[in-house]
Amino acid sequence: MIGIFDSGYGGLTILQGIRALLPRYDYLYLGDNARAPYGPRSFQVVYEYTRQAVMRLFDMGCPLVILGCNTASAKALRTIQQHDLTALSGTADSPVQAWHRVLGVIRPTAEVIGTLTTTGHVGLFATEGTIKSESYQMEIGKLWPALHVTGVACPFWVALVEYGEAASPGADYFVRKRCDELMQRDPAIDTVLLGCTHYPLLMSKIRQYLPPHVRIVSQGGYVAESLRDYLHRHTDMEARLGRGGTCRYLTTEDAQVFAARARTFLGEDIVAESIQLP
């Protein structure tokens, strides 16, 4: 199975994009809804929560885990990759083996963003935690050093989506405020990256309040294409994945509540299961 982890629901947009491109594999989604949101939490707390979830997914038979959460990718991915996968590999009572891997959602979009902008000025909408981490700026800077990236944190956007208010008139104020702020800070922006997996559900309003020439980039498709390329290059990992086309959903909150809200993201009914993390 391929594990997909998110602090809540947003990673479902990543899962949806991956399954659309790679439908034959088996997937296991885990949302840590009981402890969401991750955005305002410290690096240490996000790292520890993410680590717990990743280890559980390893233990449940996922050799490959995708952090479908931008905050977790920004605050925890590097430490897990550089420390935990190496330090725990092969130790007693550890679910980690040398061939386990964890990937994030920031680098796939960072890799392509330079091909999408004409002016070289890129905007970023994300949670407070992702903006403060400057992870996008660092990743984009490594690959496209000439680009100018302006990030704006978007409080309340996640809540608007999760509580079914994305299309409501009340959402207009919060979306317009951040769009205006971004373009005032850099009028030369011609490409805006949605650096949170919830934000595609606000796409129509974001489109309404950004200038018509500005391209809006969401992550799902690019993460899926990056994963397809990764599996093509790592045939040993690809061979370990089940191919039954199944998808199982886990949450640390109430399963029925999760299933009801997940319909907003997936457009279909699902069955979820509740689990506990340490």
Rounded-to-10 torsion of CA 227, 232, 236, 241: 50
Q: What is the pTM of this model?
A: 0.91
Cβ–Cβ under 8 Å, residues 150 and 121:
yes
- The first and second tokens of residue 242, run together, are 């089940």
- Residue 196 bears catalytic tag: yes
Q: What's residue 88's pLDDT? A: 64
DSSP string, 128-172: HHHHHHTHHHHHHHHH-TT-EEEEEE-TTHHHHHHTT-TTSTHHH
Architecture of domain 106-218: 3-Layer(aba) Sandwich (3.40)
Give the chain's residues under pLDDT 70: 87-93
- Side chain identity at 103, as an amino acid letter? L
Choosing from 69, 154, 179, 247, the catalytic residue is: 69
Domain ranges of the chain: 2-104+221-274, 106-218
- Distance, in Å, from the CA atom of 55 to the CA atom of 60, rounded to the nearest integer, reads 9
- Would 2-104+221-274 and 106-218 be classified into the same CATH topology? yes
- Residue 247 bears catalytic tag: no
- Distance, in Å, from the CA atom of 147 to the CA atom of 150, rounded to the nearest integer, reads 10
DSSP label at residue 200:
G
pLDDT in tens, 102-123: 999 999 999 999 999 999 999 9
- Distance, in Å, from the CA atom of 242 to the CA atom of 148, rounded to the nearest integer, reads 42
- Distance, in Å, from the CA atom of 212 to the CA atom of 38, rounded to the nearest integer, reads 32
Choosing from 62, 179, 196, 247, the catalytic residue is: 196
- The first and second tokens of residue 127, run together, are 């949670």
- Distance, in Å, from the CA atom of 27 to the CA atom of 65, rounded to the nearest integer, reads 10
pLDDT in tens, 56-106: 999 999 999 999 999 999 999 999 999 888 766 666 567 777 889 999 999
Q: How far, rounded to the nearest angstrom, does the alpha carbon of residue 162 sit from its chain's CA centroid?
A: 15
Reference 218, options 128, 109, 122; nearest CA is 109
Cβ–Cβ under 8 Å, residues 11 and 37:
no
Angle CA(97)–CA(73)–CA(258) in degrees, nearest 5? 90
DSSP label at residue 77:
H
CATH class (in words) of the domain with range 2-104+221-274: alpha beta
